[in-house]
Amino acid sequence: MSALWVFLMLLPALMMLAVGGLFRFGAVYKINWAFGYRTARSMKNRVTWLFAHRYFGRRWLILGLILLPLAVVAVIIMFSLNLRPEVFVAVTSSVHLAAMLVPIYFTEKALKRIFDEQGNRRA
């Protein structure tokens, strides 16, 4: 088994931890078109931008902390049973992809609940 397969199985969870940490702890201060959680709602103003990054980043951090040990367990199972790594990479990648996309729904829902269409906090 190649170290590449292990890397491919762990990479999405590690990426979620890294990007989640950047977003959660404020590495993206300014609204920009190059990097960040860029949706119409999040880019209304600086307050919505910072809220979306903190909210989304927290969810990615939590999911990364949950998925990383699960990916490690999958790697251990794969090696101990001498199974085909392609199958495990496909399965773990699918789980990671779903976990990456679900927080978008909840972040947009929170933005809609807390801010009006102009980006002002609801009373």
pLDDT in tens, 49-71: 999 999 999 999 999 999 999 98
Neighbours of 32 (CB within 10 A): 11
**For residues 83 and 99, what is the distance between their CA atoms, to the nearest angstrom?**
24
Mean pLDDT check: name the lowest of 2-11, 39-48, 82-91, 102-111.
Answer: 82-91
How does pLDDT run across 9-27, given as a tens digit for each residue?
899 999 999 999 999 987 7
Q: In this structure, what DSSP letter does residue 115 have?
A: B
Q: Where are the domains of the chain?
A: 3-114
Candidates 69, 61, 51, 66; CA nearest to 18 is 61
CA distance 81 to 59: 33
**Are 83 and 89 spatial neighbours (Cβ–Cβ below 8 Å)?**
no
Orientation of helix 3-24 relative to helix 85-114, angle to 10°: 10
Question: Which pLDDT score, from 0 to 100, does residue 46 have?
Answer: 93
What's the CA gap between 27 and 107, in Å, rounded? 18
Which residues touch 12 (CB under 8 Å, ≥6 apart)?
Answer: 67, 71, 92, 93, 96, 97, 100
The average confidence (pLDDT) of the chain is 91
